[in-house]
Amino acid sequence: MSFRFNSLSATLFISALLISNACSSITRRDVSPSVANKNENYAPPDGRKLNIYENEAVPKGAQAVLSGTIENTTDAPLSRLSVQIELKKRNADERETRTVKVAPEQLAPGARGIYTLNILAREWGSSRILGVLSETQADTLAYTILPGNKRPLERPPAGKTIVIDKPASPRTGNDGFINTPDTPYAVP
């Protein structure tokens, strides 16, 4: 089997290659702190930032548990951190911002802390992290969002065995068959 290049397929191939190369070479420029809340990955020019490992939401009865881990990758201890989470209503375009404290209160360099927020699953449809704040610092802290724990597999509901007693049919001695050699039955 031979493959022939015509000018159209060659042009399409080269265009796709150039577009792919251009997309892979795009880099994120430094962002000012005023734009930090609008970006999922905000990094200041000096490169210091936190890692946020965002777990998948876990159902717990009528609620959903939003949680994650924050890792202090800076060279300074951080204290009294909180995470701002934006919640979007399930059936409307309404949004609400909630602030969740990180435990423990003091994070040494390289240490990790956790945050947890319980919400009503039927009320909220999605969530996203807006930023990380510290009560001791005026600026929004730089962060990178990384995938955390996956949602655990849900077990199927416990199986139930239902036994339905079928009414017994009268036995005629021929194992329930209507048309047998002993009792032939004519179909009109």
CATH number, residue 81: 2.60.40.290
pLDDT of residue 31: 30
pLDDT(54) > 90: yes
CA atoms within 13 Å, Cβ hemisphere of 29: 3
Q: Which tokens hold the place of 107?
A: 């994070």
Within-domain flag for 101:
yes
Q: Rounded to whole angstroms, what are the CA distances from 121 to 39, 151, 157?
A: 25, 15, 19
Pairwise pLDDT comparison (67 vs 181), residue with the higher score: 67
Mean pLDDT of the chain: 75
pLDDT(184) > 80: no
Within-domain flag for 26:
no
pLDDT of residue 13: 57
At residue 185 the predicted structure's pLDDT band, cuts being 50, 70 and 90, is: confident
Within-domain flag for 113:
yes
Interatomic CA distance for residues 68 and 151, integer angstroms: 12
Within-domain flag for 169:
no
Q: How many domains does the chain have?
A: 1
pLDDT of residue 19: 53
- % of the chain beyond a pLDDT of 70: 67
Boundaries of domain holding 143: 38-147
At residue 148 the predicted structure's pLDDT band, cuts being 50, 70 and 90, is: very high
Within-domain flag for 59:
yes
Pairwise pLDDT comparison (182 vs 167), residue with the higher score: 182
pLDDT per position as a tens digit, 117-135: 999 988 988 999 998 988 8
pLDDT of residue 88: 93
Within-domain flag for 4:
no
pLDDT of residue 135: 84
pLDDT (average), residues 30-54 = 55
Cis peptide before 104 (omega within 30 of 0): yes
CA atoms within 13 Å, Cβ hemisphere of 8: 0
User: Mean pLDDT lowest for which of 29-33, 43-47, 90-94, 127-131?
Assistant: 29-33
pLDDT per position as a tens digit, 95-123: 999 999 999 999 999 999 999 999 998 89
Within-domain flag for 116:
yes
Query: What is the β-pairing status of strands 50-54 and 143-147?
Result: parallel
Say which DSSP state 168 is in: P
pLDDT of residue 18: 47
Apex 142 CA angle, 87 and 41, nearest 5: 60
**pTM of the entire structure?**
0.58
User: What is the dihedral angle through the alpha carbons of 173, 174, 175, 180, rounded to the nearest 10 degrees?
Assistant: -170
Within-domain flag for 104:
yes
